[in-house]
Structure 1
């Protein structure tokens, strides 16, 4: 039978994207993250990625393989981890972060947006 059991947190992803080239330096110019696991490469003028619009049960793990910090932006009017609306989460070189959706019931920074695991 197809059965899964866990005593901790179980994360499901939607595929992988390896060595995605970051783009732009702001939310509007950032390249979209579309896969659950993504490695990103940055360069001098391309340091941004943008998460999709909030929806339930989404999880993304992002690795920064570039030489510069990576700006991870929420979709327009969304939040990451209680930061200001549309503000990026800055991921250091060589670091990784897992982001997940918590709730989509209220459009405020406490209960709406991407959370850092």
Structure 2
């Protein structure tokens, strides 16, 4: 669930304190997030389904399918996140093949967990 370390020197990173809601289910999604440091809990209908850590990412579905958020993301610890908007996401998919492959891997893993009833 880690992407190439291409965001380590990012200057547009944003910080969230532990316990802060980053986005809620139903919100319109305009960015995905890469975690530079800390952990974020993702929950669906009040149930934690995944904890994402450093170099992981979340929120990509809103960019891929242009729909509302399906999960709620809460900072489990103080964290620093790099927002990736649609334009940058599309650029990354086109110009950095490993980024696109990793997004597909994570989506596949998350779908398998759902199919297996883990989520």
TM-score exceeds 0.5 = no
Q: Please state which band the TM-score falls in when normalised by the shorter chain.
A: under 0.3
Give the TM-score, by structure 1 length.
0.28
Q: Specify which structure has the bigger relative contact order, considering alpha-carbon pairs within 8 angstroms and separated by 6 or more residues.
A: 2
Give the TM-score, by structure 2 length.
0.27
